[in-house]
Structure 1
Amino acid sequence: MVFRSCWKSRHKNSSGLAPRLTPTALAVLFWLCVTQLACGSEAVGETKNVVQKDAEFDVTYNDTVTSGNQTIYAFNHTVSRNKTEGVRVTVDVSSQNLESTMLFVVRQKQAVLSFQVPLILRGLYQRKYPYNHVGRTLCQPPTRAASETQYFFVDVSTLATQGTNYQLRVSRVESFTLQTDKKFTFTASPSQPQYFKYVFPDGVDTVIVKVNSDMNFPCSVMSIQDILCPVYDLDTNVAFIGMYQTMTKKGAITVQRKDFPSNSFYVVVVVKTEDEACGGPLRFYPLRPDELIDAGNRTKVLDVVVSPAINSEVYVMGMLFCLGIFLSFYLLTLLVACVENRRMNKKREVFQNPADMSPAETASLLGKNGDGKTPASPYEYGSFADNCSTLSSEAITDSATSTDNNYGYMERSLDSVGRSRQESLSSVEEDDYDTLDDINSDKNIVRTKKFLCVSDLARKDKRILSKKYQIYFWNIATIAVFYALPVIQLVITYQTVVNVTGNQDICYYNFLCAHPLGALSAFNNILSNLGYVMLGLLFLLIVLKRDVVHNRALLRNDLNALECGIPKHFGLFYAMGTALMMEGLLSACYHVCPNYTNFQFDTSFMYMIAGLCMLKLYQKRHPDINASAYTAYACLAAVIFFSVLGVVFGKGNMAFWIIFSVIHILATLFLSTQLYYMGRWRLDSGTLRRMLYIIYTDCVRQCSGPMYIDRMVLLVMGNIVNWSLAAYGLIERPNDFASYLLAIAICNLLLYFAFYIIMKLRSGERIKCLPLVCILFTAVIWGFALYFFFQGLSTWQKTPAESREHNRDCILLSFFDDHDIWHFLSSIAMFGSFLVLLTMDDDLDTVQRDKIFVF
């Protein structure tokens, strides 16, 4: 009302009416009334002495201000269209106990800047930090004229009755415009923020702004803002516009020309009043709500460099390089397939035309002795194979309830094989084998033998087992669809939030090597996951080819396919290939915006891959008693559940680690018992009594060693490893629980794989050339991959500012960083590992199953 009465009293027209207030008039009126130049005496009834001085740059003015006087400093400077100069206003008030704050108002042609001294900045929990030394850079709007003289005024006023001394200095900022690839060093503090201008040179569409400091703290914020007034350069408002990120020692933001119509932008650096945002300590809480806290010395020395980013040619080279690497595996696979097909054709011709071969050579190719029988041990298996075949026949003969000699896996004619296969095609279910009590007795007799062969654990109908293991593929395909769709939707939302708000702290990129493309902030981290998808698809094609060849052999009643080698069940292989493809897709989704809340996207299918590989290793020698898909996926779901709980509640929570360690040990003991007794035990109320009885009879009454030595060695080593990992977790309580859980799975997989290889060689079996090459090649690739994985370019276990301390420049084609190389190498290593599992037992394809030892 005071403003309007003042306006009416001074601007009445001839009719006695005041003109209508336009927005421009309102703005002018506001600042006139604030400074009390126009309406002060009439509206308030006070008399204020207003003094205007012509002022000059780089001169320090020592003056005093009270409520009765006001000083206006008038400045002018020449602005050129082709040259930008910064203007900085610095105010210093020496008095510590001010009766009232001082108000400084800088009036420019197109902007107004006001601030008070002491400058009160608020921190966490509304803490108040006063600053008596304030420095602000004036916004410089662009001019259309070639040269123009601009005026601006600095008004100083206060409501304090006592005089307050102050120092005012206005100076030009040297190097206000940043030059490309030239480092500029400056100093900033919470009350003295700094910003500089950068103009895109011709031919440069993208640049990387890097701000560095040798000091971890105080915590600071770097921001990229368009050339607009006002510039938001205080801790309280720096996040209002543009892109921004917190930093300790390193900060980097990629800026694209298309986002700034003026082809230029401001680089703003603000020092925060507190360090909690950067992982620093939490200061004490003030005793009174209005208590002012001494912030101490929070001056920070920084340097800024603006460098051109990569051009479109580097993008094209990076994509071609990525495609070329993985397409070469397709070509190599095609070449190997052609060579193998040519070899098989020659072998088939030899079988069809054996006239030039001796009977012994023909018999050796057919896998028979001169009398038409299969040799007892083509690879000199030794006592294991002899015991296996002998006990196989003896055990079934001694079983009074089992009169069917087919279970003894003796030599059979092709007619009987064909007949049994026709019977297996009938409509039967897996549970049909367990409807009679004599079958259970037979299981106990067979599975508790001291030496087992594959024929003892490959007695169920092949068609039923194939359906059982195909469920693994269909289940993981269903899981993939329902898991991937919400994940994709979520990460798109994350990326949209980052692009709209400009908050670079949401996602934990390697900002020194994060190349944007379209809406994606780090396209290179997404592209490098292509290998998982392409090699997973290639593995599926290889498995499909083997599956088709095997089915054709079954249709023509091939004796080797029916009676020899490890039983061929491809369902788990299909699941493994699908899991590898999904790992690539979900890892790409995770790297759209890697952070604390979506880490499980990158690790969920890693757990599945490790679990499926262990199941496949066990299935090779135990096809009848391997876990069902529902049980396996339920266990993997429990693992993922604990992974989420560990990340959310596990950090420093002793109770959680105790519970997890107990569950880990109990699960290890349960699985050990299940494996040792081949599933022929029951978990019921009498379990403890039976355990005590076994301990009494085998350890107290008489000291006898374990019946299954090999299995016992594996399980003892497995328990030692798992108990050690549980103890490590309980003592150290690592922050990265997801990686800790993945390490448990990988350690168990490597232990079982090593045991499998050792037992295979100990049993007299051999490893053919192709799997041997795959093993050596994969081991080397895994070594290099782990080296790049442990480089740790970012981590969501810390604050975004601390994570950026680990950021590093690209090391491959100026496009890929260490983590991208980890993606390349780990996808190749996983593909090689899958090939090892697929081809490892190819040497047994012509060996009867009652000669293949189970371990």
Structure 2
Amino acid sequence: MLLRSCWKSRHKNSPGPAPCCWIRPGLAALLWLCVTQLACGTGAVGETKNVVQKDAEFDVTYNDTVTSENQTIYAFNHTVSRNKGVHVSVDVLSQGLESPILFVVRQKQAVLSFQVPLILRGLYQRKYPYNHVGRTLCQPPTRAASETQYFFVDVSTLSSQGTNYQLRVSRVESFTLQTDKKFTFTASPSQPQYFKYVFPDGVDTVIVKVNSDMNFPCSVMSIQDIQCPVYDLDNNVAFIGMYQTMTKKGAITVQRKDFPSNSFYVVVVVKTEDEACGGPLRFYPLRPDELIDAGNRTKILDVMVSPAIDSKVYVMGMLFCLGIFFSFYLLTFLVACMENKRSVIAKKNAQTEILNLVGRSRQESLSSVEEDDYDTLDDINSDKNIVRTKKFLCVSDLARKDKRVLSKKYQIYFWNIATIAVFYALPVIQLVITYQTVVNVTGNQDICYYNFLCAHPLGALSAFNNILSNLGYVMLGLLFLLIVLKRDIVHNRALVRNDLNALECGIPKHFGLFYAMGTALMMEGLLSACYHVCPNYTNFQFDTSFMYMIAGLCMLKLYQKRHPDINASAYTAYACLAAVIFFSVLGVVFGKGNTVFWIVFSVIHILATLLLSTQLYYMGRWRFGKITTLGSCAGWCTSSTQTCIRQCSGPMYIDRMVLLVMGNIVNWSLAAYGLIERPNDFASYLLAIAICNLLLYFAFYIIMKLRSGERIQCLALVCILFTAVVWGFALYFFFQGLSTWQKTPAESREHNRDCILLSFFDDHDIWHFLSSIAMFGSFLVLLTMDDDLDTVQRDKIYVF
């Protein structure tokens, strides 16, 4: 009966068929029944609306009035074209409405409805009304190039007062985007825009770029399949497809395989608020139902779709990456061949000199002595105090322990870091796979901070190029392990044949720390690749954890060279590094703007510096005594006073004092900087502390080496110069800052840049290339810098 009355009322003033009352099978019939009832409408029980249908035309503005007693239907005869769209624009002229006007647009395969004023909600459910609304009609797929269809715009309201409105329907001539052609348009929260793009033949991947000269208002760009309805409002744009917030820049790479129709919509929506893009938080409404004036939130943007790289560029990028690092394998092989020839000649000459100078050969102990056996005997402790407190020390004074004991001690570094790597990497890999899956399923590209202008997908990975560029760490780390293994084998063979150079000369050869360094470099590559699967705020520590390890191991290796007997154990060293990583996590989570955290960290930093300085100055031969009686306390005070008086005449170990004073100045300055500036990127700040200390100690080592009359061989000198140059270029590309998780995703995208190498790699990829080479070079420097001492007796090599 309801449908029959609706039919009669619609045909009272219109002789033609009334499409509003068509009955469709299945769910479509149920939906149509609901829409028909809403369009026909009833006031009180038994009251019937006066329905008027008008033949309407495009590009004509219709001024009309609607009340609860009348309803107007505008009928448009439309030729549907694949390249053109239809835009409906509505203005409500009356103010202070008790009830909004409902507009229902009925197409052949879609129904679009919206009310005016359009109420959009922001953060904390704040309400923003819009009296001017513009919507683009979705374009159902058609087999023919063009097809004639009717569509209808129904206007109704439940308000008893007359409400004035304006309606205008126009064609969108530039609805379909052209490849490599920029199109400029205007959008607002109530007037979203979307356009269609069809993949041309031979193009499987494109990159959609949306740009604006205006930071705000905040916007969202979305890529959606060709279907109805199109989700083009702030409160539903994230329902389907891929989307990302943007201020000035937005870019999404789209692959043909993801869209069966070989086409997609580019949707641009202006948000009602700017908080998602880092803008200010607006005031709270006084009442929960209060409407807030959104102001002018119109934004001018332009969109351009360009073909992305093809498979040939992928292949070239991979071959380039492999070629660079395999060239290091080839170069290493050539250098090794030349070094072998040189060492054979040098060894014959040196063996004769050593036989004339050294008439004895220290024999290896056959007992399985442990390191703790040395450290617990009273006579050994007394011997330590005598030896280590001498004003001038030689390496022979600090290389007194059995070399097999020390080798076992330093091999623990390698096995511990290998164990850490396995247990650290497995959950990291699982986590980033989950991140990538979430991005692919939800389409939310705000989760990961890529350089979207140079992010080349491969399979499920969104930025394959950023992952591939980490291959250098793994390959060069493996190469360093092979170099160390070769040296280890050569040294062990020399020990077996009782070679006097190996037994009596040079810096004692212990390779455990070198093995640990090579493993750490490989793990840095693996974890950096994991981080770049989905770089963001929560997993940045994956990219830096093994950098702390590398810096710490390098400092330990430098110290071990001249202090093999008293270097830290693996357990102590890794415990300290674990504490560093622990503070890194705390700093990332709680450090931003937290005064208490920065005070605590700065105090701990300074105390740790003082404690380490004391340990290094006295070479471990100091400790706090137990004060149990007044007499012992007085004795301790007297002894301390005498020590201070002696020290006031001048430090006994001037070189060590200079290093430690400079180290304290640097570290106290860094602590003060952190306390005052409170940098947002705490992990990088902590890494800067480690690198500054490493560079300071390395510079001190080189200066003291030259000052002691030692020289740097050609190979080591070439490594030093090459590594310094590469580090300089690497840091330049590192500070380009293509993205940053310290800001919102939209603000991060403002720093995005196009690829600069082979149309495949960006600045950060080049940082990966150069930094892996620089780290490899740094390791070679540590490995070769004391090769000039291989024929010098250890009692003639100074400790510093």
Q: CA deviation at 1:782?
A: 0.3
Secondary structure in 2 aligned to 1:113? strand
Secondary structure in 2 aligned to 1:140? coil
Which whole-Å deviations, capped at 9, do the CAs of 1:188-231 have from their partners, x for residues lacking one?
00000000000001111100000000000000000000000000
Say if 1:560 and 1:191 are closer, same or farther in 2 by CA, change over 3 A: same
* Inter-partner Cα distance in structure 2 for 1:33 and 1:709: 92
TM score, norm. by length of structure 2: 0.92
* Inter-partner Cα distance in structure 2 for 1:840 and 1:435: 34
CA contact (8 A) 2:10 2:52 kept: no
* Inter-partner Cα distance in structure 2 for 1:126 and 1:13: 44
- What's the % identity of the aligned pairs? 94
Say if 1:212 and 1:348 are closer, same or farther in 2 by CA, change over 3 A: farther
Say if 1:104 and 1:702 are closer, same or farther in 2 by CA, change over 3 A: closer
* Inter-partner Cα distance in structure 2 for 1:594 and 1:348: 60
Q: CA deviation at 1:131?
A: 0.3
CA contact (8 A) 1:210 1:306 kept: yes
Say if 1:707 and 1:3 are closer, same or farther in 2 by CA, change over 3 A: farther
Give the equivalent residue in structure 2 for 1:300.
Answer: 299
CA contact (8 A) 1:8 1:17 kept: no
CA contact (8 A) 1:139 1:229 kept: yes
Say if 1:283 and 1:9 are closer, same or farther in 2 by CA, change over 3 A: closer
Which whole-Å deviations, capped at 9, do the CAs of 1:168-196 have from their partners, x for residues lacking one?
00000121000000000000000000000
Say if 1:156 and 1:573 are closer, same or farther in 2 by CA, change over 3 A: same
Say if 1:780 and 1:14 are closer, same or farther in 2 by CA, change over 3 A: closer
Which whole-Å deviations, capped at 9, do the CAs of 1:138-194 have from their partners, x for residues lacking one?
011011235421010000000000000000000001210000000000000000000
CA contact (8 A) 1:454 1:854 kept: yes
Q: CA deviation at 1:757?
A: 0.3
Say if 1:506 and 1:14 are closer, same or farther in 2 by CA, change over 3 A: closer
* Inter-partner Cα distance in structure 2 for 1:435 and 1:674: 19
Say if 1:562 and 1:17 are closer, same or farther in 2 by CA, change over 3 A: same
Which whole-Å deviations, capped at 9, do the CAs of 1:669-727 have from their partners, x for residues lacking one?
00000000000111xxxxxxxxxxxxxxx556884101110000000000000000000
CA contact (8 A) 2:436 2:534 kept: yes
Which whole-Å deviations, capped at 9, do the CAs of 1:67-105 have from their partners, x for residues lacking one?
00000000011124677xx00000001222112111000
The structure that has the greater radius of gyration is: 1
Q: CA deviation at 1:582?
A: 0.3
CA contact (8 A) 1:418 1:557 kept: no
* Inter-partner Cα distance in structure 2 for 1:41 and 1:255: 48
Q: CA deviation at 1:44?
A: 3.1
* Inter-partner Cα distance in structure 1 for 2:107 and 2:15: 35
* Inter-partner Cα distance in structure 1 for 2:140 and 2:360: 92
Give the equivalent residue in structure 1 for 2:513.
Answer: 572
CA contact (8 A) 2:13 2:52 kept: no
Secondary structure in 2 aligned to 1:584? helix
Matches within 5 A, 1:174-213: 174-213=173-212
Q: CA deviation at 1:9?
A: 16
Say if 1:50 and 1:285 are closer, same or farther in 2 by CA, change over 3 A: same
Q: CA deviation at 1:555?
A: 0.1
* Inter-partner Cα distance in structure 2 for 1:107 and 1:10: 16
* Inter-partner Cα distance in structure 1 for 2:652 and 2:189: 74
Say if 1:264 and 1:17 are closer, same or farther in 2 by CA, change over 3 A: closer
Secondary structure in 2 aligned to 1:156? strand
* Inter-partner Cα distance in structure 1 for 2:420 and 2:47: 78
Q: CA deviation at 1:421?
A: 6.4
Q: CA deviation at 1:665?
A: 0.1
CA contact (8 A) 2:76 2:150 kept: yes
Q: CA deviation at 1:8?
A: 16
CA contact (8 A) 2:40 2:49 kept: no
Say if 1:549 and 1:823 are closer, same or farther in 2 by CA, change over 3 A: same
Give the equivalent residue in structure 2 for 1:815.
Answer: 760
Say if 1:16 and 1:664 are closer, same or farther in 2 by CA, change over 3 A: closer
* Inter-partner Cα distance in structure 2 for 1:142 and 1:784: 53
* Inter-partner Cα distance in structure 2 for 1:802 and 1:425: 66
CA contact (8 A) 1:425 1:463 kept: no
Secondary structure in 2 aligned to 1:420? coil
* Inter-partner Cα distance in structure 2 for 1:235 and 1:586: 37
CA contact (8 A) 1:63 1:165 kept: yes
Say if 1:318 and 1:735 are closer, same or farther in 2 by CA, change over 3 A: same
Q: CA deviation at 1:2?
A: 7.7
Say if 1:75 and 1:821 are closer, same or farther in 2 by CA, change over 3 A: same
CA contact (8 A) 1:93 1:132 kept: yes
* Inter-partner Cα distance in structure 1 for 2:798 and 2:34: 98
Secondary structure in 1 aligned to 2:738? coil
Say if 1:284 and 1:68 are closer, same or farther in 2 by CA, change over 3 A: same
* Inter-partner Cα distance in structure 1 for 2:730 and 2:14: 87
Q: CA deviation at 1:434?
A: 2.8
CA contact (8 A) 1:243 1:503 kept: yes
Say if 1:43 and 1:667 are closer, same or farther in 2 by CA, change over 3 A: same
Say if 1:2 and 1:547 are closer, same or farther in 2 by CA, change over 3 A: farther
Say if 1:182 and 1:672 are closer, same or farther in 2 by CA, change over 3 A: same
Say if 1:441 and 1:751 are closer, same or farther in 2 by CA, change over 3 A: same
CA contact (8 A) 1:3 1:29 kept: no
CA contact (8 A) 2:351 2:501 kept: no
CA contact (8 A) 2:410 2:511 kept: yes
Say if 1:308 and 1:560 are closer, same or farther in 2 by CA, change over 3 A: same
Give the equivalent residue in structure 2 for 1:236.
Answer: 235
Which whole-Å deviations, capped at 9, do the CAs of 1:272-294 have from their partners, x for residues lacking one?
00000000000011111100000
CA contact (8 A) 1:32 1:38 kept: no
* Inter-partner Cα distance in structure 2 for 1:827 and 1:88: 54
* Inter-partner Cα distance in structure 1 for 2:513 and 2:496: 22
* Inter-partner Cα distance in structure 1 for 2:746 and 2:593: 22
Higher mean C-alpha deviation, range 802-811 or range 72-81: 72-81
Give the equivalent residue in structure 1 for 2:780.
Answer: 835
Secondary structure in 2 aligned to 1:109? coil
Of 593, 612, 625, the residue aligned with 2:534 is 593
Q: CA deviation at 1:432?
A: 1.5
Q: CA deviation at 1:544?
A: 0.2
* Inter-partner Cα distance in structure 2 for 1:18 and 1:90: 24
* Inter-partner Cα distance in structure 1 for 2:166 and 2:18: 41
Structure 2: 5+ residue runs without aligned partners?
20-26, 343-348, 624-642
* Inter-partner Cα distance in structure 1 for 2:41 and 2:463: 57
Pair 1:793-2:793 in alignment: no
* Inter-partner Cα distance in structure 1 for 2:759 and 2:683: 31
Q: CA deviation at 1:815?
A: 0.4
* Inter-partner Cα distance in structure 1 for 2:184 and 2:88: 19
Q: C-alpha root-mean-square deviation of aligned residues, in Å?
A: 3.6
CA contact (8 A) 1:81 1:144 kept: no
CA contact (8 A) 2:83 2:175 kept: no
Of 360, 367, 379, the residue aligned with 1:426 is 367
Which whole-Å deviations, capped at 9, do the CAs of 1:288-339 have from their partners, x for residues lacking one?
1100000000000000010000011111110000000000000000001111
CA contact (8 A) 2:351 2:500 kept: no
Say if 1:558 and 1:288 are closer, same or farther in 2 by CA, change over 3 A: same
Which whole-Å deviations, capped at 9, do the CAs of 1:219-260 have from their partners, x for residues lacking one?
000000000000000000000000000000000000000100
* Inter-partner Cα distance in structure 2 for 1:800 and 1:95: 40
* Inter-partner Cα distance in structure 1 for 2:580 and 2:524: 16
TM score, norm. by length of structure 1: 0.86
* Inter-partner Cα distance in structure 1 for 2:124 and 2:226: 33
CA contact (8 A) 1:276 1:282 kept: yes
Give the equivalent residue in structure 1 for 2:634.
Answer: none
Secondary structure in 2 aligned to 1:224? strand
Pair 1:583-2:524 in alignment: yes
* Inter-partner Cα distance in structure 2 for 1:255 and 1:185: 21
CA contact (8 A) 1:424 1:462 kept: no
Q: CA deviation at 1:437?
A: 1.1
Secondary structure in 2 aligned to 1:418? coil
Equivalent residue pairs, number:
767
Which whole-Å deviations, capped at 9, do the CAs of 1:334-391 have from their partners, x for residues lacking one?
0011112223x999999xxxxxxxxxxxxxxxxxxxxxxxxxxxxxxxxxxxxxxxxx
CA contact (8 A) 1:665 1:722 kept: yes
Say if 1:530 and 1:13 are closer, same or farther in 2 by CA, change over 3 A: same
* Inter-partner Cα distance in structure 1 for 2:436 and 2:381: 58
Q: CA deviation at 1:124?
A: 0.3
Which whole-Å deviations, capped at 9, do the CAs of 1:122-149 have from their partners, x for residues lacking one?
0000000000000000011011235421
